[in-house]
Structure 1
Amino acid sequence: MKTRSTLRTLTLSTLTLGVLAFNSPAAMADWVLKFAHPHPTEDSEHLAAEHFAKQVEERTHGEVKVRIFPNGQLGSDQAMISGVQAGTIDIALSGNPYFSGMVGELGVLDLPFLFDNAGQAHKVLDSTTGRQLLDMFDAKGIKGLAFWEVGFRNLTNSRHAVHTAADIKGLKLRTTPNPAHLKAFTALGANPVPMPFAELFTSLETGTVDGQENPVTLIRSAKLYEVQKYLSLTAHAYTAAPVIMNKAKFDSLPKDYQDIVMDEALKAAAFQRDLNAKNENKDLAFLQEQGMEVVSDPDRDSMRKVVEKPVRDWFVEKYGSQWLDAIEQAKQAAGQ
């Protein structure tokens, strides 16, 4: 039989646990947002996501909390995008090529040799044209927050060094499912194999594919140097990374909190781009130290001649010339 003292102790303990639970960060937050992305925790995308989460929580006084799920924990790129659309995931970050099936016009950003340098790409993505592209998500139940980046794609493989377009012929290369990427590598005589990023390391390790194409920073953070011997700095395409949010969840936030989320997504884009720029040379040196053979000045013109015009012509035939024209105008304005 419990004594009155024992009952009083149990009651106080229960109340104390209730207060502690109520005062936990998750309980105190009015909105807890799940943020999913496919890359390792060492990658700039994850570091930028942490920066974004910290700033949003601070500026909303803890009422909006962001929980990050890196490294494909919530599924492949396509699964995460579908999750945002369905509302099972609140925010996701993925490479632009994975959105081409949803908003085909975004494929303009994936055209080979579209941008001359990162600064030019950033100016275009942050321009009115970039915002118009992000706003096309609205019709899909998604809010486009900002463009972060994957970066300029460089070619790696385990068979031989790539100096010219001819060296690409016959290579079995993992690519994204984006039609522009597939058409470009097919034109170069390669065998492109689209697959999720999460499957890439194992596919390289087992020889399912010979190589892949990604920025230097991601080649390091994903430890692809462990299964790839040759790196050629082709910079054949730039890949943006839209940060998207379930539109119903975004609309449920108070207007001032919507503004904070949008503002911090843009600031995190600048944060992430700066990290990539600072780390690129250091990451390249690291890859060389691990034994990768680097072709620092491949014949990019030989590649451009094969892929630039036919892939652009394909895009214009399918979606019209207005988006490509708008980007060219934005590029010219960025150079002024």
Structure 2
Amino acid sequence: MKKLNLISAAVFFASISSHTLAAGEHILALSHYGSPSDTITKATELMAKRANELSNGRITIKLHPNSELGPSGTQIDGTRMGTIDIVVVGNPYYTTFNEELNLLDLPFLFRDEAHVEKVLAGEIGNNLLKSLEKSGLKGLAFYEIGFRDITNSKKQITTVSDLSGLKLRTTPNPAHIAAFKEWGANPTPMPFNEVYFSLKTGVIDGQENPVHHIYNNNLQEVQKYLSLTHHAYTAAPMAMNLERFNYMDKEDQEILLQAAREGAELEKQLNIEENKIYLEKLKEQGMEVEANPDVNTFQVGAKKAWDDYAKKFGDSIIQQVTDTK
């Protein structure tokens, strides 16, 4: 029965995936995690529009938002198999098969948005996107989830000791899990589409995501406290099935890359704007916000995650990131 279900799923995904309509014409299925109001939805809508415009209609991108094609891990698997053409999910889901990308999830690695942009737009970012090719993916651009903050239903987080015993949903990323263990919490990885119900029913006490993501997914309905820890930044690489990308001619490849970059730039601008707006809305809707938690108390646990990464990949690339001005 399980084998039949997998076959059925493959047939379904193939039915919505890419087809060559005529010479040089392409329909591409793009899957992502974002809700209809999320910035990733707006950004991929722009990408689809620009790809179609720039190609004079040769490229059509069909969007599948809100994890309608399955959880993030399933979306990546489908893209690697070729049953989905393009995917955008959080970086931690890529690290299950490409541990090198754990670099981007190290706690307190990035200082601010400008630092992130300088690193990801440079040699380090390009090399990390290139590293996806060994897993059958073509990295198109870095979209983002953003700087993560902590919410929970039990108490305000002002120092690291306040995390003790809290059951928090995290991504499956080893750097996140290691850090939260060091910080005294009970990290509980789960797909994001299960988080709201798990918070509502008390299966978990809290979670960690950027303000815009918290608001757009109505987590304020099931969470009382928000602490602006900015403890980690999460990229969301946009990747395409490598074989499918290579099938396209050079001109259309460049068009797709340009459209992907334009969408990513819009998303980052929207996130900066919306984080300010939505923080105020969260306060208005009853969330208690700690604007200045003592992040210095988190540093020991953060160092453990950095050391674990350095043991596998060396500390020179970490140094390159921290030295980036």
The corresponding residue for 1:223 is 218
Counterpart Cα distance in 2 of 1:273 and 1:105: 24
The corresponding residue for 2:312 is 318
Q: SS state of the match for residue 236, structure 1?
A: coil
Counterpart Cα distance in 1 of 2:111 and 2:80: 33
- 1:102 and 2:105 correspond: no
The corresponding residue for 2:132 is 137
Q: SS state of the match for residue 148, structure 2?
A: strand
Counterpart Cα distance in 2 of 1:183 and 1:127: 28
Task: Check 1:27–1:142 CA distance in 2 against 1; reply closer, same or farther (3 A cut).
Answer: closer
The corresponding residue for 2:146 is 151
Counterpart Cα distance in 1 of 2:215 and 2:27: 32
> What letter corresponds to residue 281 of structure 1 in structure 2?
K
Q: SS state of the match for residue 234, structure 2?
A: strand
Residue number among 285, 292, 297 corresponding to 1:297 in the alignment: 292
Task: Check 1:253–1:27 CA distance in 2 against 1; reply closer, same or farther (3 A cut).
Answer: closer
Deviation at 1:140, TM superposition (A): 1.1
Q: Which has the larger radius of gyration?
A: 1
Q: Which runs of 5+ in 1 are unaligned?
A: 1-25
Residue number among 285, 305, 312 corresponding to 2:280 in the alignment: 285
* Alpha carbons 2:73, 2:93 under 8 Å: kept: yes
- Alignment length (residue pairs): 305
Deviation at 1:323, TM superposition (A): 2.4
Q: SS state of the match for residue 260, structure 1?
A: helix
The corresponding residue for 2:28 is 33
Deviates more, 1:251-260 or 1:29-38: 29-38
The corresponding residue for 1:187 is 182
Per-residue deviation, residues 236-261 of structure 1 (Å, max 9, x unmatched): 00001100000111111110110011
The corresponding residue for 1:308 is 302
Counterpart Cα distance in 1 of 2:261 and 2:234: 17
Deviation at 1:309, TM superposition (A): 1.6
> What letter corresponds to residue 198 of structure 1 in structure 2?
N
Deviation at 1:108, TM superposition (A): 0.5
The 4+ residue runs of structure 1 with deviation greater than 6 A are 26-29
Per-residue deviation, residues 107-129 of structure 1 (Å, max 9, x unmatched): 01100000111111111111111
> What letter corresponds to residue 156 of structure 1 in structure 2?
T
Q: SS state of the match for residue 232, structure 2?
A: strand
Deviation at 1:101, TM superposition (A): 1.4
Counterpart Cα distance in 2 of 1:308 and 1:205: 29
Per-residue deviation, residues 185-219 of structure 1 (Å, max 9, x unmatched): 00011000000111111111111000000000000
TM-score normalised by the chain length of structure 2: 0.92
> What letter corresponds to residue 235 of structure 1 in structure 2?
H
Q: SS state of the match for residue 66, structure 1?
A: strand
* Alpha carbons 1:105, 1:323 under 8 Å: kept: no
Q: SS state of the match for residue 298, structure 1?
A: coil
Counterpart Cα distance in 2 of 1:254 and 1:244: 18
Per-residue deviation, residues 111-165 of structure 1 (Å, max 9, x unmatched): 0000111111111111111000000011111100111110000000000111110
Counterpart Cα distance in 1 of 2:320 and 2:245: 28
Q: Which runs of 5+ in 2 are unaligned?
A: 1-19
- 1:210 and 2:205 correspond: yes
The corresponding residue for 2:108 is 113
Q: SS state of the match for residue 235, structure 1?
A: coil
The corresponding residue for 2:258 is 263
Per-residue deviation, residues 43-100 of structure 1 (Å, max 9, x unmatched): 0011100000000011111110000001110011100001110000000001111111
Counterpart Cα distance in 2 of 1:252 and 1:132: 22
Deviation at 1:292, TM superposition (A): 0.5
Counterpart Cα distance in 2 of 1:157 and 1:225: 10
Q: SS state of the match for residue 209, structure 1?
A: coil
Counterpart Cα distance in 2 of 1:121 and 1:190: 27
The corresponding residue for 2:61 is 66
TM-score normalised by the chain length of structure 1: 0.89
* Alpha carbons 1:52, 1:268 under 8 Å: kept: yes
Counterpart Cα distance in 2 of 1:38 and 1:201: 14
CA RMSD of aligned residues (A): 1.3
Counterpart Cα distance in 2 of 1:103 and 1:27: 34
Among all aligned residue pairs of Structure 1 and Structure 2, give the percentage whose two residues are the same amino acid. 43
Q: SS state of the match for residue 56, structure 2?
A: coil
* Alpha carbons 2:110, 2:322 under 8 Å: kept: no
Counterpart Cα distance in 1 of 2:306 and 2:98: 17
Deviates more, 1:97-106 or 1:317-326: 317-326
Q: SS state of the match for residue 182, structure 1?
A: helix
The corresponding residue for 1:5 is none
Residue number among 32, 50, 67 corresponding to 2:45 in the alignment: 50
